[in-house]
Structure 1
């Protein structure tokens, strides 16, 4: 194009306000992860010309909540519009795991093609030998010795080729089976609903040419975290160590690479509006007459079903750094001044876009605790060590699973549920075989008597407990007496010994202190009176 024409075109473009679209990759700096969902904060450095500018930002999560989208430019730059769109340039959307499986299928398929070529080559060689053998057999000009020698050579080579062909076919069969397994695994991976990334088309207006910082925030639904706790007790004379961790997952469509994490106990999906109570009208029930299908019944009962929980493979996350629990508190700030508690983690983390749970360390607490043993021999013959903690509200605990370690040994899993906890939070530290508890029925005092129109059945039990540890232990033992809901069934002659009896529930409670190698016996009993000819449910 002539130089003058170029100048004229540029002047026309300036006069008409046209502009070229620029493409810019966003850097995800911050992720505030809620129990369900997350808010991502991204930044970019843009160079704006005077007038209107259009930028296509990439590295944007998919399926964002467009109502939460916020674009902040500052310095007098006006954000005219911001439109989220899918990235249609991607021909095939696969998760990293699915891509890995597909690559494996391609590699094995290519190797299979080579095996197929070898089989074809060997088949052609066998055909040539068969033709030579036929020609040799028809050639009467050869002596018997020469003909025999030639046929032996042909047969030897043919046997070798057939063996090679058999081996190649066996290898091909194994490859086919492996490809079939990979394809099945790929189908399962694709069913997980991998979320691809998107793009953000933003128009700016600048009074003058300027280099400017842009901050973009939005929320995504496909992310979240759940708490998990490691509880370690080395000795019952020392405080319990509570390690607060989080299982963080995200399938937002983009990788969170080296981002600052904030974990919040909030849930923006619950909505911000308070409920409004409506009138409560009563009316008589009129049962509907008609047939209800099996499917309808199943749907009816499914309404109140508890939500299903998913388990994921636990994996360490982060930038190749070793987590030292004792120093984690230096990098975590806890903010509980608002409605929800948040944990600001200064250490950078990388969370892959794979939907799997990644462990993030939050905080370590040294928790003063009192220890006791607890046993219900009617239900379980073992004694359980428990740690009781007061002022637990300061720990910012929410319900979650626990991993229990006692005296340096993993003893099992438990669950913390603070929703029904009042002043004392109790952690179960597992079974202790050194506290021996037995519950036996006293057959000498067991009796069944018919008196008048009633039957009187008497039951007697003895609980024995022994401390085989070298230290004094405190233990609470519970059992129970039956409670009647019928006036014709009477519980009488209650023998509770030194136990506390809760009349409404029939629960017996013994609180004991046992010295090393000390044993105690706890007898109790009761009599049930009921009319002759009747059978009492739940008595045995």
Structure 2
């Protein structure tokens, strides 16, 4: 005899792609063979992932999983929608009638006001009315106008709301469609042998692909550290509401991992296609007549004859030797991180994000300044944050400095103890000025058929706020890869760390400094007939 087992979702583990659900049900059983049936499980479950276990004096003999379909009438839903629609339409007509009556009364009020103000001077001259009564009538008319406007706004708002509700009901009725729907679901039959009468608890676990979570971050920077909050948007598209479930968020992924081998990359000389041969007038005429008569030719040879082209056979691909493959070294030191939420949660199956807070931590941070000649009026400061023991998954980050929002950024995959840069913002702790101190021409070079120009620059860094950070400063000088344009040897009072293609980079320690001055000079020499572009400063 089959017994229906009612189960509820008690625990959900959500992964980056997919989720694992745990259903639990309890019932009393008598000794002997029993068949338990769990009905109407979500159609989105992965059949191969179903696992059944339980507690009690007995043993599970076998488990059978079947997919079922069931026709379900939608008439009750449609009838309920019609009932609501009729009620709303009655309210709509009633409100429209009230608005119409209000408009008619207000029109009578306007007509009366016009007559009164037209005759008031005559009544006043005949001492039939005084100024106090005229003033009182004016106030009465103004109150009537205000009351009319207020009442009219009330009716119009109600009409708009009723029309919106009717529109939503119409959409709901369209979504329901026909009077019947076909419901798909899984049923699990569990055959077990009970050795002793008592309470049995059955636990069913399975995986679904239609649930996942996306990490995002709130990062609040300060002078000393960074307060990082890891959150997750949980999406439940399983078709089953999760009510009062113990939720676990995991950095694992249920998607299969595949080894993708590289294919050979073969380069060869590009052979342009030969130009098409000219088509004779007779062949054009013949092809046009065939097309008009409806004799559409199929196949390579017929098409060639109809349009006058000869197809060229493609050369066969040569066999390519298999490339040697080195096995990748697998590092499992990162592991998988999971977060168990402390309280039960409700997450409906509504395809909307449901944010949860996973962890908060304080991370060490180190600040650094940046200045570039490409944007000389802007000095940038950013934080280099050193991660702790967390695995930070890729996600959006809202960044704050001392509680003030400064922008959004992206956090890539960051391993434990790895660093990341965040919080790029403008600062006024420093002042950097670049000056052209001297520019001169080499007149002697003109007599030898060459022209020379010498430049001397100075970069002054003023430290307005004492700190122990570093400034990365990037400048640019002339660079040439032409034999006819030479850049002479440059001299620096502070040697840059790199001079790549004329890009100069310094990393300057600001500890205990109030002012730093960098000066350098160089000379450009070129042949007289050469025209330089872009123009030299």
Q: TM-score, normalised by structure 1?
A: 0.61
Query: Can you list the C-alpha shifts for 1:341-365, whole angstroms capped at 9, x where unaligned?
Result: 2223141333332333333222233
Aligned mates of 1:485, 1:189 — CA distance in 2: 69
Q: Distance in 2 between matches of 1:520 and 1:171?
A: 68
Alpha-carbon distance between aligned partners in 2 of 1:86 and 1:534, rounded to the nearest angstrom: 82
Greater C-alpha Rg? 2
* Distance change in 2, residues 1:338/1:494 (3 Å): closer
Q: Does 1:342 align with 2:330?
A: no
CA distance in 2 between partners of 1:382 and 1:515 (Å): 21
1:433 has 2:427 as partner: yes
Determine the structure 2 residue equivalent to 1:235. 223
For the residues of structure 2 that align with 1:362 and 1:473, how far apart are their CA atoms?
A: 33
Partners of 2:228 and 2:252 in 1: how far apart? 22
RMSD: 5.0
For the 8 Å contact 1:469–1:516, the answer to whether it is kept is no
The Cα of 1:182 is off from its aligned counterpart by 4.9
Secondary structure, aligned partner of 2:389: helix
**Structure 1 pair 87–521 and aligned structure 2 pair: CA distance change class (3 A):** farther
Cα deviation, residue 52, structure 1? 5.3
* Matching residue of 2:412: 417
For residue 122 of structure 1, report the CA deviation from its aligned partner: 11
Structure 1 segments unaligned to the other structure (5+ residues)? 1-18, 124-162, 191-195, 292-335
In 2, distance between residues paired with 1:539 and 1:228?
48
**What is the CA–CA distance in structure 2 between the aligned matches of 1:40 and 1:475, rounded to whole Å?**
52
Q: Distance in 1 between matches of 2:449 and 2:184?
A: 82
1:76 aligns with 2:59: yes
In 2: Cα distance, 1:280 partner to 1:290 partner: 29
The alpha carbon displacement at 1:39 in A equals: 1.8
Q: How many residues align?
A: 418
Distance 1:272 1:234, change over 3 A: closer
Deviation at 1:201, TM superposition (A): 0.8
Tell whether the 8 Å contact from 2:3 to 2:37 is kept in structure 1 after alignment. yes
Q: Counterpart in 2 of 1:131?
A: none
User: Which stretch of structure 1 is more off in the superposition, 529-538 or 458-467?
Assistant: 529-538
After superposition, give the CA deviation of every residue in 1:457-511 in whole Å (9 maximum; x if it has no partner): 7666544433333555543323344665666665444455425242445443333
8 Å contact kept, 1:61–1:197: no
Which residue is 1:112 aligned to? 89
Of residues 200, 203, 212, the one that matches 1:224 is 212
- The aligned residue for residue 384 of structure 1 is 380
2:74 and 2:235 mapped to 1: Cα distance?
26
1:207 counterpart SS class: strand
**Contact 1:242 1:366 survives alignment (8 Å):** yes
Unaligned runs of 5+ in 2: 101-147, 177-181, 277-330
Match of 1:400 among 395, 398, 402: 395
Q: Any idea what the Cα deviations from partners look like across 1:294-327, whole Å, max 9, x if unmatched?
A: xxxxxxxxxxxxxxxxxxxxxxxxxxxxxxxxxx
CA contact (8 A) 2:477 2:503 kept: yes
SS in structure 2 opposite 1:500?
A: coil
SS at structure 1 position matched to 2:393: coil
Are the structure 2 counterparts of residues 456 and 439 from structure 1 closer, same or farther at C-alpha, using a change threshold of 3 Å?
A: farther
Change beyond 3 A, Cα 1:41–1:508: farther
Pair 1:64–1:478, CA change in 2 (3 A): farther
